[in-house]
Structure 1
Amino acid sequence: MTVRREGNTGDKTIAPPRELDEKPRTRPVRMMRWFVIVGVLLALLVGGLVGFNAFRAHMIAQFFANNKPPAVTISAVEAKSEVLPNLQRAVGSLAAVHQVNVTSDVSGRITDILFTAGSRVTKGTPLVQLFDKPEQGDLANYKAQATVARLALDRAKQLAARQVGAQVTVDTTQAAFDQANAGIAKTEAIISQKLVRAPFDGVLGVRQVEVGQFLTAGTQVVSLTDLSTLFANFTVTEKESGRLSVGQTVRVSVDAYPGKKFEGRITTIEPQIATETRNIRVQATIANPDDILKPGMFADVIVVLPEKPPVITVAETAVEYTLYGDSVYLIKEKKEDDGKTSLTVERTFVRTGDRIDGRAVIEKGLQPGDKVAAVGQLKLQSGAAVEISKDPLPQIPEKPPLN
């Protein structure tokens, strides 16, 4: 295609097609230049934002690195390898070895009360006198009959020896004499029953009768208890019974005397298992110094079993018991960048065993010599810095406090 150009003079010039194609290309070059400029600016802006965020994060990290929280003050204990007493715990009650409600064997009216309630008596001490005048009269009558019969028997024997009297007379008088003596023995037995006596040494209880009261046979007069020795009756499971044997030492404690132990020995193990509970009854005999223990008291019983091998233990307060498992805070040494050594804690899960006298057995998770936090765990978490207090550990109470 040919284009004509006309000037003022009217000359016509024919322009080649290349000149026409070069003029429109100036606009796309300018647009590309603007795109490049805008892209560079956006890149600078994004780079500035990224750099600013990185710088801010670095400064925040540096700030927290230089401003660590203060170390938590705790009390620490050391895990030890020791031989703990092998104990079997049970609960039971105390019972008297000798205890009875004193009663009368015969009926009668009380004429005299010869004891003071709560006093200590010995075997044979008179307690209550019943009316026995008729029996005393019968006794005198039988004694008189016995005297007459003895005289008649002696005379009959003398006559028979001289062959003057018959042998039948001797036999008759002998029978009369024996009958009179039998009457004396029976009446004396009734009279002895009219006087109620203590069957053994012990302490009397509350008086249940009054002077002038008609006492029927079998009615309780007073209770009598021998407090010098008591039984501790308790039960163990079928599984635990295999570790018990007669003669093993037991330690008994009661709520009335906290902190005090009473020692004894197992004297009886029931030979059969209760089908209802699958438990076995065990009875121990314990001494009762000063008669301070009373029958019927609730008792905590500890049976001392043969010793076990050494185990690892820590203070019971060092163990945290949760639904997720038992754990301790293990204290570790950490070297800082400046070369100094600091202490940190790490929560370590452990497997616990028995708990005896404020010590907890650690079956798995610790080694002898490891230090763990014993007081102040509520303020700790894994990785926390700590410092060990020099104050002594608080005493463990004999029994947990009541809510």
Structure 2
Amino acid sequence: MIKRLIIAIVLLTLVIGGIVGFNQFRAKMIAQYLDSMKNVTVPVTVTEAQSGTWTPGIDAIGTANARQGADLSTEASGVVREILFQSNDTVTSSQLLVQIDDRQERADLEAAKASLNLAQITLNRARNLQERGVTATSTLDSAQAEEVSAQAQVAKLEAVLQTKQLLAPFDGTIGIPRIEVGQFVAAGTVFATLQDRSQMRVDFALTEQQAAQVRQGYSVTAIDEEGGTSFEGEITGIDPKIDANSRLVTVRALLDEASGEALTPGQFLRVRVNLPAVENVISLPQTVVTTSLYGDSVFVVREETPEGADAPQTIAREVFVRIGRRHGNSVEILEGLKAGDRVVDAGQNRLSSGAVVRIVTDPAETGDAPPVIGN
């Protein structure tokens, strides 16, 4: 019994001693590894934070429209007698485009003119008789009323004839005819579209908050998706009413003359409203900012002398920042940095705060290249 107890005590002592020895060995190896890591340097490239002019803007989606554009429609019903244009013709203001059959109206006009002529003769005769005191005043009044009525009838029929002639309201390019000769058309039938493409405009929508920042006369930049061509313009109108359904405000801008040949009405455009420039703003490329659950941060390179070191070392420190507006590939830094700070812009994915870094000029050196181990 005593022998078994002694054997158990010996085995327990060996197990405890092994565990203690393993832990001491592990601690020693970890310490050696950490000591060696102090000499590891990570290659990074840096950019200097500078205070400069910041041009904020508002991005939106817009639609290109002609400076003037309309779907032309018939004002009166009837049979189409002539179509005096072809697809894509350039027409001028007041040019005759379509003629509706007007033979009945012309006949009525001739009859009205004859009645007017008779009324004028009767009025002149009544005036002569009145001057000689032969006729009564009521006869002259009746003749005058007949003459005025006849003039009104002539004017009415002339106006009806004008509705049978469809004229171009402005200069522009006319589209494909949507009616045919001999076709009966009702009032309001669209027969073609007319677009003045000498200069284009863009309509886009902004939120209530964005619309409060823009003013008439602000410059805009519009970019088409197909060719990537940009056009400059100026805001010419802001709708004073907010759409109750979308909560958006419609804004219109007139683009430069080069847009007339390059854009098509209805085309999709990306629009940027250029807001007034702001001085003394620190901005950085968006790629240098790391976003996490704790906030936005960047790595700043500083010269420090760690405790126990003989000489200064280049250390990367994580600094939390507050970002503001974005423009292109740049982001505005509101808090956390000052002008002159050196910010890591390549190689930050392999950094931790306090890491020793080596500044290089070629971003390729910060990629898959292993860290350089110091002596």
Normalised TM-score (structure 2): 0.72
Segments of 5+ residues of structure 1 without an aligned counterpart are: 1-48, 393-403
Contact 1:266 1:285 in 2 (8 A): yes
**Which residue in 1 is equivalent to 2:176?**
206
**Which residue in 1 is equivalent to 2:329?**
358
Per-residue CA deviations over 1:236-294 (Å, capped at 9, x if unaligned) read: 13x455444455444444434535143212533435x55555x3514233235242444
Per-residue CA deviations over 1:122-142 (Å, capped at 9, x if unaligned) read: 332211101112222222333
Q: Structure 2 vs 1, CA of residues 62 and 240 (structure 1 numbering), >3 Å: closer, same or farther?
A: closer
User: What secondary structure, in the 3-state scheme, does the structure 2 residue paired with 1:355 have?
Assistant: strand
Contact 1:96 1:295 in 2 (8 A): yes
Partner AA of 2:358 in structure 1: V
Per-residue CA deviations over 1:193-227 (Å, capped at 9, x if unaligned) read: 11111233443333211111111111111123444
Contact 1:250 1:266 in 2 (8 A): no
Aligned pairs for 1:172-187 (under 5 A) are: 173-187=143-157
Partner AA of 1:284 in structure 2: R
Segments of 5+ residues of structure 2 without an aligned counterpart are: 1-20, 365-375
Q: Structure 2 vs 1, CA of residues 60 and 304 (structure 1 numbering), >3 Å: closer, same or farther?
A: closer
Aligned residues: 338
Aligned pairs for 1:287-302 (under 5 A) are: 287-289=255-257, 290-291=259-260, 292-302=262-272
Residue 108 of structure 1: how far off its partner (Å): 0.7
> Which of 301, 309, 329 pairs up with 2:299?
329
Q: Which has the higher contact order (CA 8 A, sep 6+)?
A: 2
Residue 78 of structure 1: how far off its partner (Å): 0.9
- Distance of 1:389 and 1:93 partners within structure 2: 44
Partner AA of 2:333 in structure 1: I
User: What secondary structure, in the 3-state scheme, does the structure 2 residue paired with 1:123 have?
Assistant: coil
Partner AA of 1:388 in structure 2: V
1:258 aligns with 2:223: no
- Distance of 1:206 and 1:75 partners within structure 2: 60
Residue 231 of structure 1: how far off its partner (Å): 5.3
Contact 1:92 1:301 in 2 (8 A): yes
Aligned pairs for 1:3-402 (under 5 A) are: 64=36, 72=43, 74-94=44-64, 98-163=68-133, 170-171=140-141, 173-227=143-197, 228=199, 230=201, 232-237=203-208, 239-256=209-226, 258=228, 260-265=230-235, 267-271=237-241, 273=242, 279-289=247-257, 290-291=259-260, 292-308=262-278, 310-333=280-303, 343-382=314-353, 383-389=355-361
Partner AA of 1:265 in structure 2: I
Residue 375 of structure 1: how far off its partner (Å): 2.9
Q: Structure 2 vs 1, CA of residues 300 and 122 (structure 1 numbering), >3 Å: closer, same or farther?
A: same
Taking only the aligned residue pairs, the percentage that are identical comes to 28
Contact 1:333 1:343 in 2 (8 A): yes
Per-residue CA deviations over 1:65-104 (Å, capped at 9, x if unaligned) read: 89x66753x4321111123123344445455664432111
**Which residue in 2 is equivalent to 1:398?**
none
- Distance of 1:269 and 1:59 partners within structure 2: 70
Q: Answer with 114-123 or 182-191: which moved more.
A: 114-123
- Distance of 1:381 and 1:218 partners within structure 2: 72
- Distance of 1:251 and 1:374 partners within structure 2: 29
Q: Structure 2 vs 1, CA of residues 180 and 369 (structure 1 numbering), >3 Å: closer, same or farther?
A: same
Contact 2:200 2:263 in 1 (8 A): no
Per-residue CA deviations over 1:29-66 (Å, capped at 9, x if unaligned) read: xxxxxxxxxxxxxxxxxxxx99xx79x96996799589
Contact 1:329 1:346 in 2 (8 A): yes
Partner AA of 1:351 in structure 2: R
Q: Structure 2 vs 1, CA of residues 83 and 59 (structure 1 numbering), >3 Å: closer, same or farther?
A: closer
- Distance of 2:333 and 2:148 partners within structure 1: 83
Q: Structure 2 vs 1, CA of residues 166 and 376 (structure 1 numbering), >3 Å: closer, same or farther?
A: same
Q: Structure 2 vs 1, CA of residues 144 and 224 (structure 1 numbering), >3 Å: closer, same or farther?
A: same
Q: Structure 2 vs 1, CA of residues 168 and 325 (structure 1 numbering), >3 Å: closer, same or farther?
A: closer
Partner AA of 2:112 in structure 1: Y
User: What secondary structure, in the 3-state scheme, does the structure 2 residue paired with 1:354 have?
Assistant: strand
User: What secondary structure, in the 3-state scheme, does the structure 2 residue paired with 1:310 have?
Assistant: strand
Partner AA of 1:232 in structure 2: D
Partner AA of 1:106 in structure 2: A
Q: Structure 2 vs 1, CA of residues 296 and 58 (structure 1 numbering), >3 Å: closer, same or farther?
A: closer
Q: Structure 2 vs 1, CA of residues 78 and 242 (structure 1 numbering), >3 Å: closer, same or farther?
A: same
Q: Structure 2 vs 1, CA of residues 178 and 262 (structure 1 numbering), >3 Å: closer, same or farther?
A: same
Contact 1:98 1:225 in 2 (8 A): yes
Per-residue CA deviations over 1:323-367 (Å, capped at 9, x if unaligned) read: 443232323346799988764534433332222132222223322
Normalised TM-score (structure 1): 0.68
Q: Structure 2 vs 1, CA of residues 82 and 259 (structure 1 numbering), >3 Å: closer, same or farther?
A: farther
Cα-Cα RMSD: 4.1
- Distance of 2:53 and 2:29 partners within structure 1: 55
